[in-house]
């Protein structure tokens, strides 16, 4: 790598640290996490690296310099800022996603209440509101039961979401993982996933839901992915 390339990568790492640290405040703002639970990671553009939250550190203490830099096998880059700590215990799952879904730039994991409630029943969230058709293009699917210790969580996420419209998967008896083109997009998916999990849970407590015809779901998803938001900023949000 040339000196110039090295400087570009360092800048990209620093930006990703700042973005990932900052985005964790959205998880507390929307009540998706408690104590030290939950984690966000972001891929470093132009490098085989990602940045992730440290394990067991309070949300009040998160800052760019204690985010942890990992290679795509989930190993901490030795000597990098924050490397004296352990990365999130979900790092292997994040790394598996980055290795196997090259277009994905961000991963988020939470145990947000309503999404986890659907996961405890192993039940997909049906698409009965237009905002969910916009954002997820149909139901939010369930991934397999898998526990920490090998690649099984990462494999479950990728097997469920690869080729699926949804950017969120409910891991059975566990919680939710979301993916996105960058960390912010994955955080948005986590926020919206909990919102539809809550709304549709409450809706169903009150009686029978009205389904949305598939062609309407398709039309809404297509429009939202291609039209909505401020195009001059180049970001669909």
Q: 71, 95, 68, 73: which is closest to 84 by C-alpha?
A: 68
Q: How far is the CB of 201 from a copy of itself (least distance, A)?
A: 6
Q: How far is the CB of 172 from a copy of itself (least distance, A)?
A: 6
φ and ψ of 196, to 5 deg? -75, -35
Please identify, using beta-carbon distances, which residue of 155 and 201 lies nearer to a copy of itself.
201
Please identify, using beta-carbon distances, which residue of 3 and 237 lies nearer to a copy of itself.
237
Burial call 54-69: b when 16+ CB within 10 Å, e when fewer? beebebeebebebbbb
Please identify, using beta-carbon distances, which residue of 44 and 118 lies nearer to a copy of itself.
118
Q: How far is the CB of 26 from a copy of itself (least distance, A)?
A: 9
Separation between Cα atoms, residue 216 and residue 201, nearest integer Å: 22
Please identify, using beta-carbon distances, which residue of 99 and 111 lies nearer to a copy of itself.
111
Separation between Cα atoms, residue 43 and residue 64, nearest integer Å: 14
Q: How far is the CB of 169 from a copy of itself (least distance, A)?
A: 15
Which residues would be at the binding site for a copy of itself (CB under 8 A)?
30, 34-37, 54-58, 84-86, 89, 111, 113-114, 116-123, 128-131, 145, 147-149, 172-175, 188, 191-192, 195, 198-210, 212, 216, 219-220, 223, 227-233, 235-237
Please identify, using beta-carbon distances, which residue of 163 and 213 lies nearer to a copy of itself.
213
Q: For residues 70 and 87, is the Cβ–Cβ distance under 8 A?
A: yes
Q: For residues 190 and 113, is the Cβ–Cβ distance under 8 A?
A: no
Please identify, using beta-carbon distances, which residue of 7 and 209 lies nearer to a copy of itself.
209
Helix spans in 30-123 (H): 91-100, 113-121
Separation between Cα atoms, residue 6 and residue 177, nearest integer Å: 32
Q: How far is the CB of 194 from a copy of itself (least distance, A)?
A: 9
Decide: helix, strand or coil at residue 110.
strand
Separation between Cα atoms, residue 75 and residue 68, nearest integer Å: 10
Q: How far is the CB of 18 from a copy of itself (least distance, A)?
A: 17
């Amino acid at each position: 790598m040339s000196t110039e390339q090295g400087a570009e990568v360092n800048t990209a790492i620093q930006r990703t640290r700042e973005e990932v640290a900052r985005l964790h405040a959205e998880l507390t703002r929307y009540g998706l996490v408690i104590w030290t639970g939950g984690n966000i990671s972001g891929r470093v553009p132009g490098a085989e690296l990602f940045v992730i939250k440290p394990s067991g550190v309070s949300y009040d203490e998160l800052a760019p310099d204690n985010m942890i830099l990992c290679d795509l096998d989930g190993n901490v880059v030795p000597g990098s800022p924050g490397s004296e700590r352990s990365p999130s215990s979900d790092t292997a799952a994040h790394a598996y996603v980055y290795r196997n879904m090259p277009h994905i730039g961000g991963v988020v994991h939470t145990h947000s209440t309503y999404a986890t409630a659907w996961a405890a029943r192993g039940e997909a969230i049906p698409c009965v509101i237009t905002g969910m058709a916009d954002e997820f293009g149909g139901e939010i699917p369930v991934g397999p039961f898998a526990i920490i210790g090998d690649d099984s969580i990462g494999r479950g996420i990728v097997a469920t979401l690869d080729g699926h419209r949804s950017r969120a998967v409910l891991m059975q008896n566990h919680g939710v993982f979301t993916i996105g083109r960058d960390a912010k997009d994955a955080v948005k998916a986590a926020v919206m996933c909990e919102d539809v999990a809550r709304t549709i849970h409450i809706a169903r407590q009150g009686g029978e839901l009205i389904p949305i015809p598939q062609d309407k779901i398709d039309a809404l998803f297509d429009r939202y992915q291609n039209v909505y938001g401020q195009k001059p900023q180049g970001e669909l949000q």
